[in-house]
Structure 1
């Protein structure tokens, strides 16, 4: 399989601007990815409407809400111009859609639009309560597509020489490996990493290694201990030491009220990993 249709999903819905310089890592990665794959880029930008029930009764509040919504849309338009210029330089074809509805409707719209893409690229959510996290969850649980999460400080572009698989033997991890196969086939090195809760060697990755050895150039299996009960930290630390270009893991979730939210390890990976992470659900 080749990646020929790529979805970049961006969120412009924060109430308070980030204090740091804005990161365009996901945008740059998406353009690098599409240039490498000779793929078309579809950019869907969430600029959700802020809606306050009291705004209609208080003129000052109504004006403030209108200003916030206008700023969100303007930020999306600025991103469109920035990406258009970068795509033209890279020779990438690109199309855009800015969605400005309610928060829920906006995420639902973007998730539905992503279903006709081969892969989705998003920015890594920031710490705390973030609409980026809501968008990431919508893409994972509602688009049916694998999702590449790009950290804000990633500058190396789309590279796939050294790939690490976080393997627990589960169905979600197996799906992630299948979705990542186009990357694994070209990688110089594929490392299967299993996190063991104790000192015993289980070699859970042996069967997967035998399977991938029929496809990939170089496959190894590594078992690492959990760090203070934190599986995500153990995986992220190992990836950093190995200077990996990509991590592949299954996305896990648990129900909360009427929606699905990220499970502990998956959520931890989004906080800990300083490299692109491919997640499949």
Structure 2
């Protein structure tokens, strides 16, 4: 198993460069093809204009959006060519979640950006990206690599932590991440407040990984004064991890974005790329 076909989501977003860099880094790592999916923001009705909005305003907004898309396309294609990565470009007028869900099922790995966890002006947040990794982790059916909103990541997957609790979501994430795990210098299977009678929690899945040639160790921690999400992020920082692999948890018949505390904490406060599986 490998990642031969990678999709990266771009939009009118200052983090396009970071997402592109991550996707191209992985393309070189796995000898993969990269497709950029650019979602065009919908026209915005300005609140102070009341019910009447001139058609010319929407037309101008659409033209500006297209111009930004062309600028982003030129930057993406130039960088892909510079790095010797084969690439394609797609555009969609659908909201990001719907567009990435639809197109993403034809790819091995989806690369997204973390929404700004504390936007100074929520009105300028690109339409639909505020819930992008949250909803897609439950809907896309593909592994999702989320790049933090801040920082640069010249290495992804050299030192990996797998958040492990034995659940089907954690199991799915682990196997979705197998190309990363087999190529890593070191992998730690990490449990928070593990529950297991006899033996070492995580030992069995570590043996499974070792049979795949993964350099793996097992570690567990008890979180007393902080929540498990904070404990996980603390362990990531302490161990110098550059990729966290974890299952995504959520349930809601109305909106599939009600996550368990650990997943929500990590997605909000992540400091390294996170690969989500479900």
| TM-score normalised per structure 2 | 0.85
| Residue 18 of structure 1: aligned partner | none
| Pairing partner for 2:52 from 50, 58, 73 | 58
Structure 2 residue 88 is matched with structure 1 residue 86: no
Matches of 1:100 and 1:182, distance apart in 2: 32
Tell me how far 1:269 sits from its aligned partner.
0.7
The Cα offsets for residues 107-145 of structure 1, whole Å up to 9 and x where unpaired, read as: 323211110100000011111566323222343222210
Contact 2:138 2:256 in 1 (8 A): no
| 2:109 is the alignment partner of 1:119 | yes
Q: 1:58 to 1:254 in 2, by over 3 A?
A: same
Paired residues for 1:122-137 under 5 Å? 122-127=112-117, 131-137=128-134
Range that drifts further, 201-210 or 24-33:
201-210
d(CA) in 2 for partners of 1:67 and 1:37? Answer: 41
C-alpha distance in 1 between matches for 2:58 and 2:158: 47
CA distance in 2, matches of 1:154, 1:57: 41
DSSP-derived class of the 2:189 partner: strand
Name the stretch that deviates more: 80-89 or 120-129: 120-129
Instruction: Report which stretch shifted further, 92-101 or 165-174.
Output: 92-101
Question: How far apart are 1:260 and its partner, in Å?
Answer: 3.8
Instruction: Find the residue that maps to 2:88 and give its secondary structure.
Output: strand
Match of 2:208 in 1: 211
Q: How does 1:234-249 map to 2 (within 5 A)?
A: 234-249=231-246
* Change beyond 3 A, Cα 1:70–1:235: farther
Supply the distance in 2 between the matched residues of 1:231 and 1:239 (Cα, whole angstroms). Answer: 12
How many angstroms does 1:51 deviate by?
5.8
Q: Structure 2: which 5+ runs fail to align?
A: none
Cα distance between partner residues in 2 of 1:68 and 1:22: 21
* Conserved 8 A contact 2:192-2:222: yes
* Comparing 217-226 and 46-55, the one that deviates more: 46-55
Greater shift after overlay, 50-59 or 153-162?
Answer: 50-59
User: What is residue 163 of structure 1 aligned with on the other side?
Assistant: 160
Report if aligned partners of 1:227, 1:234 keep a CA contact under 8 Å in 2. Answer: no
Structure 1 pair 64/277, CA: closer, same or farther in 2 (3 Å)? Answer: same
Aligned length: 269
Any unmatched runs of 5+ in structure 1?
Answer: 15-20
Determine the C-alpha separation between the residues in 1 that align with 2:21 and 2:131.
22
Task: Please state whether the residue corresponding to 1:203 is helix, strand or coil.
Answer: coil
The 3 A distance-change label for structure 1 pair 193 and 95 is same
Structure 2 contact 194–220 (Cα < 8 Å) conserved: no
